[in-house]
Amino acid sequence: MTIDLFNTNLDEDINFDLLIFAVGYEARARHIAEKYYRNSEIVLGYVFPDGHILSFDDNMQFLKQVGGHRLESGARIRDRLKELSSRPDFSKTKICIDVSSLNRGAMASLLAELLDSEFFHQAEISVLYSVAVFSPPPHEEFDFLDFSPLENFGGWTSNPERPTALILGLGYETDHAVGALEFLDPSVTFAFFPIGSDTQFEQLVGEANSSFFELISPDRIIKYPVLSPYQTFWEMRSLILSLREVARTVLVPMGPKIFSSLCLVSQRMFGDEVSIWRASGHSLATARDAKASGEITGYLIKQVD
């Protein structure tokens, strides 16, 4: 199976056979579903086992109002759809997954099933992202709660003797990039720096990673527009292609969730020679709401034999 990426159609009249969004604690979690639920045959709301705070109740109420269905954390999409639909499978269907409020573990689980399962053979998958209204990062600094290969995307290199090439996504996570650098001890490091619509965002991401910038050459920092994931994918693809014959490539996605999704899809494209590691210091004690700015971006995955 070959995976190709394309720019996606964001017209409101596009139809989906399946729409998946997170029923999380951020208000923006339902923004994309509000726009597309009328044109979707089945709506699934991914429900986390915890974090039922802030805008969670409003998001759950929305799911019920639009006739959507719960998808419990850890449950397989296929099993839920078999309960809800008479279709034998969802091959060659149109699927939308909103990654805005998914954590990286949930995103990995959902995308792995959509990309790997024969039940979704040759499905066209629109990966969408709702940009949040700018807000400064919390004052608390996060220690690593988890830093390890991401389940289903850890890879398994056939060339362990090769040096490690590290590709990072940068975000608000103070010193997490430095932590990844120290833990993995790569021979070469590249960093993707997000550029949003608000210049304050760029400034604060820079401040959060100031100590990391002292350890990396400026020409290895790649600035990418959050609203142009297709462009970002091609930059990432070119970089991985240039490294894969000489190094073991490790991706550590931080920052905007749309970048994390691109890392996951890239791993499936290139296979086990690329590994995804998860760096997380988030806890519910520092959870904050996030409202949708109204900007939506995304890309389309097509699978062909």
Domains of the chain: 2-134+291-304 (3.40.50), 146-286 (3.40.50.11700)
Q: 1 versus 91: which is more confidently predicted?
A: 91
pLDDT at 158: 80
Least confident of 76-85, 156-165, 197-206: 156-165
Whether 175 has a pLDDT exceeding 90, the answer reads no
pLDDT at 233: 98
Claim: this prediction has a pTM higher than 0.85:
yes
Positive/negative CA dihedral, 95, 36, 298, 174: negative
Whether 24 has a pLDDT exceeding 60, the answer reads yes
| C-beta separation of 23 from 60 below 8 A | yes
Least confident of 66-70, 136-140, 201-205: 136-140
| C-beta separation of 260 from 124 below 8 A | no
| C-beta separation of 268 from 262 below 8 A | no
CB-side exposure of 32: number of CA atoms within 13 Å? Answer: 30
Q: 249-303 pLDDT, tens per residue?
A: 999 999 999 999 999 999 999 999 999 999 876 667 678 999 999 999 999 999 9
Q: 207-247 pLDDT, tens per residue?
A: 999 999 999 999 999 999 999 999 999 999 999 999 999 99
Q: 26-59 pLDDT, tens per residue?
A: 999 999 999 999 999 999 999 999 999 999 999 9
pLDDT at 281: 64
Pairing mode, strands 188-195 and 221-225? parallel
Whether 105 has a pLDDT exceeding 80, the answer reads yes
Those residues with Cβ within 8 angstroms of residue 77's Cβ, 6 or more apart along the chain or in another chain:
18, 20, 44, 71, 110, 113, 114
Q: 126-148 pLDDT, tens per residue?
A: 999 999 999 988 776 666 557 89
pLDDT at 143: 61
Q: How many CB atoms lie within 10 A of CB 149?
A: 14
Cα 139 to the center of its chain, rounded Å: 24
* Average pLDDT value for the chain: 94
* Tokens matching residue 170: 């940068």
If pLDDT is split at 50, 70 and 90, which confidence band does 176 have?
Answer: confident
